[in-house]
Amino acid sequence: MVGVQTLRCACRASKSRNKFRTPVLILYEEQFLRMDKIEAAKHGKGLIILEDDSADQVKQAIEKVSKIVSMDNNEVSFEGHRIVEGHGFALQVNCFDIYECPDGYLLHTYMDTGSNWAVTGKTLSQLLNAAPDQRVARRAHGLLIQKNLLVGHH
């Protein structure tokens, strides 16, 4: 697994140094992101891969609704479980996740362009209203309705 970690770090470093990544690095980065998320889902825990430019903001958001369990390089594990996984769109949003945590909900978004971000809310409605990108909130709202976790308008 050391080779995987090294390659992931190389891909992440490539993203921060150069906005124009090669298709091979993008493919590797997306594959490892999926593998990490699948592994976290198997264990039923919250897991977010931090980027340098947004790490502090994301960790602060996590701490508002949960307890950080461990930090391993750029991966933060916390109490909570993912209830929604949304796909990217508009060549700006890579994907987003909503976690149910001990003290509320966490919405984390991996961005293709710009910094990743996270917001929290005591309720799902508060969470969606706090999102700085309402396109993400609308998509998340639809997924929450599909899963019978939310009804009506947010």
6 in a structural domain = yes
CA angle 103, 105, 110 (to 5 degrees): 135
**Domain tally, the chain:** 1
| pLDDT at residue 2, rounded to an integer | 38
152 in a structural domain = no
| pLDDT at residue 116, rounded to an integer | 96
76 in a structural domain = yes
153 in a structural domain = no
The torsion angles phi and psi of 18, rounded to 5 degrees, stand at: -145, 120
- Residue 81 to residue 92: CA distance in whole angstroms: 25
154 in a structural domain = no
94 in a structural domain = yes
Mean pLDDT per 10-residue section of the chain, whose length is 154 residues: 36 38 49 56 76 96 97 94 91 93 97 95 97 95 94 64
Burial of 44 (0-12, 13-18, 19+ CB in 10 A): exposed
The beta strands (E) that lie in the chain are given as 46-49, 68-72, 75-78, 81-89, 93-101, 104-111, 117-121
Residue in this structure with the two tokens 């930090």, named with its chain if needed: 71
| pLDDT at residue 143, rounded to an integer | 95
Alpha helices in 18-133 (DSSP H): 23-43, 55-65, 124-130
28 in a structural domain = yes
Do 127 and 120 touch, CB atoms closer than 8 A? yes
- Residue 134 to residue 122: CA distance in whole angstroms: 18
| pLDDT at residue 24, rounded to an integer | 47
What is the number of residues in the chain? 154
| pLDDT at residue 8, rounded to an integer | 34
CA angle 13, 75, 21 (to 5 degrees): 25
| pLDDT at residue 39, rounded to an integer | 59
151 in a structural domain = no
Determine if the pTM surpasses 0.85: no
Range of the domain at 105: 2-146
The tally of CA atoms less than 13 A away on the side-chain side of residue 25 is: 17
